[in-house]
Amino acid sequence: MTAERARSFAAGVGVYAATRPGYPDDAVRWAVPEGAHTVLDLAAGTGKLTASLVGLVPHVLAVEPTDEMRAELQRTLPGVPATAGTAEATGLPDVSVDAVTVGQAWHWFDQAAASAELARVLRPGGQLTVLWNIRDESEPWVAEFSRIVHRGDDLADHFDSPVLSDDFGPLEAAEFRWVQRIPTAALRPLAASRSFLLTMPPDEREARLAEIDELVATHPDLAGDAADQPYVVRAYRAFRR
Ligand SMILES: C[S@@+](CC[C@H](N)C(=O)[O-])C[C@H]1O[C@@H](n2cnc3c(N)ncnc32)[C@H](O)[C@@H]1O
């Protein structure tokens, strides 16, 4: 089931690219060590985090296993070498990158295998950063949106600190708060881009999306054409010994 969910993004590439949030600059800077030359964006998806890395570092590489996601990244970021690979087997040479970033994906990985693989490709002193964009549910309409989308979801994204091998030094944690202005019309496709909905029978998915339509039609904070959606980026980093 986890593997099916991890692959499900292929069905939602267009909505994913259009509705999922990017990353705030302060979080991206925290993810890149001073003087880094080559950074791997792992599980790069459609390139939301990759796009922020371009311009900060001279060489950005992307590894992404899902062909449809990678094709979208190659379309929007043609200058970034993007290859098929996984966290457990990136296909990159030993000791070849200064940093690795993982946006919104560590929870899909086999942690022990990924940690060993990233210890292999990182230079000594290189940085691994794992980030999640989390909707800030202290905002009432955001809490209601999440309740509708994730009701009954045993595999809802979890944001526990990653467990890394002894090849890495101690974990540091940080949080970055930011707000995305989102058209209220995008809330339905945003819900539809979640892997839980992508893998549901179509009639159940439609019923959930009808609940989202109802939320958008009735919640006073969603009365305008757009709303402020607050996010917290939770980030963890550790350095290769
Ligand atoms: C929620 S998306 C995040 C994409 C992008 N990093 C972002 O922040 O928008 C999760 C991505 O993880 C990828 N993925 C799932 N399992 C993976 C694995 N074992 N190794 C590498 N990538 C994986 C999926 O194909 C998908 O593109």
> pTM of the prediction?
0.89
Instruction: Concatenate the DSSP letters of all residues of 86-125 into one string.
Output: -SS---PPTT-EEEEEEES-GGGS-HHHHHHHHHHHEEEE
At 97-108, the pLDDT tens digits run: 999 999 999 999
Query: Rounded to the nearest whole angstrom, what is the distance from the C-alpha of residue 169 to the centroid of ligand 1?
Result: 24
Query: Nearest 5°: phi and psi at 232?
Result: -120, 125
Distances (CA, A) of 92 to 113, 131, 172, 221: 15, 22, 26, 47
Contact status, residue 191 vs residue 138, Cβ threshold 8 Å: no
Positions in the chain short of pLDDT 50: none
Confidence (pLDDT) at 10? 65
**How many residues are there in the chain?**
241
Determine the pLDDT at residue 16.
67
pLDDT of residue 11: 61
pLDDT for 154 equals 81
Please state, in angstroms and rounded to a whole number, the distance separating the CA atoms of residues 17 and 21.
Answer: 9
Would you identify the CATH topology of the domain 2-135+156-181+230-239?
Rossmann fold (3.40.50)
What is the per-residue pLDDT for 160? 84
Which residues are within 8 A (CB) of 115 and not within 5 positions of it... i.e. 6 or more apart? 162, 163, 164, 165, 167, 168
CA-nearest of 116, 95, 100, 127 to 165 is 116
pLDDT at 57: 97
Identify the residues whose C-beta falls under 6 Å from ligand 1. 6, 9, 20, 43-45, 48-49, 64-66, 69, 86-88, 103-105, 108-109
Whole-number Å distance between alpha carbons of 55 and 148:
38
Q: Output the CA 103–ligand 1 centroid distance in Å.
A: 8
What sign does the dihedral 211-214-220-226 (CA atoms) show?
positive
- Tokens for 228, please give them: 């402020």
Taking CA atoms only, the protein residue closest to ligand 1 atom 26 is 45
Per-residue pLDDT tens over the stretch 59-83: 999 999 999 999 999 999 999 999 9
The answer to whether the Cα torsion of 86, 114, 169, 156 is positive or negative is positive
* pLDDT (0 to 100) of residue 5: 67
In the chain, where are the structural domains located? 2-135+156-181+230-239
Confidence (pLDDT) at 99 = 98
Amino acid at 87: A
- Ligand 1 centre to CA of 146 (Å) is 20
The pLDDT assigned to 2 comes to 66
